[in-house]
Structure 1
Amino acid sequence: MPEKPAITSSELGTLWLTYQQKTMILRMLEYFIEKADDEKAKNIMISLYDEIDPYVEKITVIFQNEGAAIPVGFTSQDVNKEVPKLYDHGFDIMFVRLIKEISMGMHTLNITMASREDIVLIFKDLTAITQKYYNACTQYLIEKGMLARPPYVSMPNSVEFVKDTSYLGGLNPFSSKRTVNTVEVANLFHAIETNITGMQMITGFAQCANEQEAKKYFSKGAELAKSMIKELSETLLQDDIQTPSPSGGIATRSTVAPFSDKLMMYCTSLFCSFSMGGNSLGTAFSLRNDLSAKIMVFMKDIFEYAHEGAKIMIRNGWMEEQPQMESRDKLKK
């Protein structure tokens, strides 16, 4: 049998990112499992933990075999399971569901950037695990009445074609706008739903962060999420379309941090990346000009917010450097 080829730069990069994300999720699951007040939710999280934990070890072995440094990621020092509950009932599964949504996109993309069979298999397995638990979380939240369903619509009874370019309009304040279509509703509703969970998460972070700089940053993020929820909700309400309003999952009054500032900053950075990706899709599939323009403004705000967070992480020594390509200029000297 031929020996395995060395891993490529793309495979090294995607494995490194996966290691960071999985060690973060494991630390957060440890806390949420400890504080779970619902047996079914606890079992979902324990089962998820048991399924993804071995993949951290698999990635570690690959790094060792390739002679690559093992990333630090997130360790037991980044979580304190003994502190009071930071979030109310239901947030744990809401959070896990959103994390699994982020993971689905990441693992699918990572498969396309890998060619070595064992690495492709890792991302394939992780994709299946992610889909399994995303569905488990969704069904749990529906069963508990904690998941807002998108609005229903009358089924089309004929096929129609767009008749003129006014279909694309929306920027002119003196002309009427067409009602949003179902694809646009799907993107708007999803953006509101994810921002609500993100706002609840970052509000808790703002309450308990140790560093004042991080605390202010999280508060700013909560306000940004709130403004996006408000504007997108108003867009739906203009067409008499209901907006998502999930029950439960809010931050408690606790001000004691269960996670390190480093972990909370990384988690926020991950959510910003996911938000920019989701908004890109929203822009691509929204044909009404005013919707695309509004989403593009949000993307600019999110990018600037994420960039500000990166500076804070660097200043505090919280940003682990990704594997670098060789600097040929330095080698020549």
Structure 2
Amino acid sequence: MNSNPIPLTSTELGNLWMTYQEKTMLLRFLEYFLEHAEDQEIQQILKSTYDLSGQFVETIKNIFQQEGAVIPIGFTVNDVNKGVPKLFDYLYESMFLHMMGKIEASLFALYSTMAYRKDIRKLFIDLTANSQQMFDQCTELLLEKGVLVRPPYMSMPKEVTFIKDNHYLSGFNLLGDTRSLNAIEISLIHHAIETNLTGMQLMIGFAQVAHDKQVQQYFVKGMKLSKDVETTLGEYLRQDYIEPPATHAGKATNSTVAPFTDKLMMYITNLLGSFGLGSNALGGAFSLRGDLPVTMARLALKIVPFVKEGGEIMIKNSWMEEPPQIEDRKQLTKS
């Protein structure tokens, strides 16, 4: 019985549904990480994140029940395998949550601006705050451990200047005097490389343990695509004598025993691919150097078919749960 006189809008229903999928996936990762985490500080972050994520999942369940909507399946305890060898080594748990914090904070902040019912707005605001806290805790921990590489420092500006000519917008100069990257462009490139480094290790690990041959080959493609993004964007930093971010931690081990089902591993790969497209669009939109948007667009042309192929594999194996669908009124006009 719905105690709220205002029903959910289609936007609110869709965003709650997607949040349920993502949060139940995250719970499975946290269950696996909690089994293997050795550092006490990491265990505390994992445990608090697990407890709060579980509470959010229950809240969304209750909303669906009150609205008379079926509760999605999402990902259950059957999607994680306990007692298997560790697939990722030192501090990968925190690196993974650091990456997921970026994704969640962006998504939930967006969802909060797409909600109209007060309780749904509050839920997404709380979800955003929780994700930002998770990101902050992992950032602080990784910096303390010397694992997270800070972006390059630069001299502070002493006066305000204005762009004088269109050369500032050019990135294609055969004479080699293309201007140096500005702070905004460096930040976007660093962000993309940092995320892809974590994603690349995820793909390496997944490729080692996937059961289905086609799924395994797909993860190998994902590994190569992440490497392509990292090396392509890293070259922009190297041209300005800046070393791209890299880390010695969080590598995939040599385990060949899957901690997750192929279904779950395909889902998060699809999520990361979609997030990568958004990051590329952001990087291209805020760059004032003509060559960077072109490069971002070329990378996007590689990511789009990768994400599409992932969707096709999931559909083929009946792993893709269908989102809530509006009534097909077009059929009425044909009858």
Specify the TM-score bucket, using the shorter chain as the normaliser: over 0.9
Question: After superposition, where does 1:184-333 map in structure 2 within 5 Å?
Answer: 184-332=185-333, 333=335
Q: Paired residue for 1:72?
A: 73
1:310 is displaced (CA, Å) by 0.5
String of CA shifts for 1:58-102, please: whole Å, max 9, x gaps. Answer: 111111111111100000110012100000111110001111110
CA contact (8 A) 1:87 1:204 kept: yes
Q: Paired residue for 1:120?
A: 121
Whole-angstrom CA distance in 2 between matches of 1:160 and 1:210: 58
CA contact (8 A) 1:24 1:73 kept: yes
Whole-angstrom CA distance in 2 between matches of 1:209 and 1:3: 44
String of CA shifts for 1:295-314, please: whole Å, max 9, x gaps. Answer: 11111111111001101111
CA contact (8 A) 1:37 1:89 kept: no
Whole-angstrom CA distance in 1 between matches of 2:129 and 2:317: 36
Gaps of 5+ in 2: none
CA contact (8 A) 1:170 1:176 kept: no
Whole-angstrom CA distance in 2 between matches of 1:30 and 1:216: 26
Whole-angstrom CA distance in 1 between matches of 2:19 and 2:282: 23
Q: Paired residue for 1:137?
A: 138
Whole-angstrom CA distance in 1 between matches of 2:159 and 2:107: 38
1:175 is displaced (CA, Å) by 4.9
1:27 is displaced (CA, Å) by 0.5
Whole-angstrom CA distance in 2 between matches of 1:70 and 1:281: 34
Whole-angstrom CA distance in 2 between matches of 1:55 and 1:155: 42
- Tell me which amino acid in the other structure corresponds to 1:171: F
Gaps of 5+ in 1: none
- Tell me which amino acid in the other structure corresponds to 1:180: L
Whole-angstrom CA distance in 2 between matches of 1:254 and 1:70: 35
Whole-angstrom CA distance in 1 between matches of 2:16 and 2:249: 35
Q: Paired residue for 2:51?
A: 50
CA separation of 1:3 and 1:122: change in aligned 2, threshold 3 A: closer
CA contact (8 A) 1:86 1:254 kept: yes
- Tell me which amino acid in the other structure corresponds to 1:150: P
1:155 is displaced (CA, Å) by 1.1
String of CA shifts for 1:154-204, please: whole Å, max 9, x gaps. Answer: 111221111110111112434521011111011111111111011011110
Q: What is the DSSP-based 3-state SS (H/G/I as helix, E as strand, rest coil) of the residue aligned with 1:47?
A: helix
Whole-angstrom CA distance in 1 between matches of 2:139 and 2:124: 22
Q: Paired residue for 2:98?
A: 97
What is the alpha-carbon root mean square deviation over aligned residues? Answer: 1.1
CA contact (8 A) 1:208 1:256 kept: yes
Q: Paired residue for 2:169?
A: 168
Whole-angstrom CA distance in 2 between matches of 1:329 and 1:139: 53
> How many residues are treated as equivalent by the alignment?
332
TM-score between both structures, scaled by the size of structure 2: 0.97
- Tell me which amino acid in the other structure corresponds to 1:298: L
- Tell me which amino acid in the other structure corresponds to 1:66: E
Whole-angstrom CA distance in 2 between matches of 1:242 and 1:69: 50
- Tell me which amino acid in the other structure corresponds to 2:218: Y
Whole-angstrom CA distance in 1 between matches of 2:332 and 2:98: 46
Whole-angstrom CA distance in 2 between matches of 1:247 and 1:4: 54
Whole-angstrom CA distance in 2 between matches of 1:277 and 1:22: 20
CA contact (8 A) 1:276 1:299 kept: yes
CA contact (8 A) 1:170 1:177 kept: yes
1:3 is displaced (CA, Å) by 4.3
1:331 is displaced (CA, Å) by 3.9
Whole-angstrom CA distance in 2 between matches of 1:127 and 1:3: 23
String of CA shifts for 1:9-46, please: whole Å, max 9, x gaps. Answer: 11110000000000000011000011112111011000
